[in-house]
Amino acid sequence: MIKKIIYSSLFVIIGFCETNHSQHIQIYGNVMDSLKTPLPYANILVIPKAEDEDIKFAITEKDGSYKLGLVKN
């Protein structure tokens, strides 16, 4: 029983350390058309090269601005 608790605790600690080493990146900007008019509610997609990674997305605000949080491997 004590071994299970120790192994479980160790697993959680190692997993926590791995997630803390990843770098978080914040991408932000404005989407505008050719006349420099903001495009509200446009979709922003980040499609990774690796097939096993998730597609990330954001939707622009009414003023055309967006923020997208990513994790750098």
Among 58, 53, 54, smallest CA distance to 69 is for 58
Residue-level pLDDT at 53: 87
Contact call for residues 73 and 24 (beta carbons, < 8 A): no
The encoded tokens of residue 60 equal: 């622009």
Domain ranges of the chain: 23-73
The encoded tokens of residue 34 equal: 């050719």
**Model pLDDT for residues 13-58, shown as the tens digit of each residue:** 555 545 556 688 899 999 999 999 999 999 999 998 888 888 999 9
**Model pLDDT for residues 57-66, shown as the tens digit of each residue:** 999 999 999 9
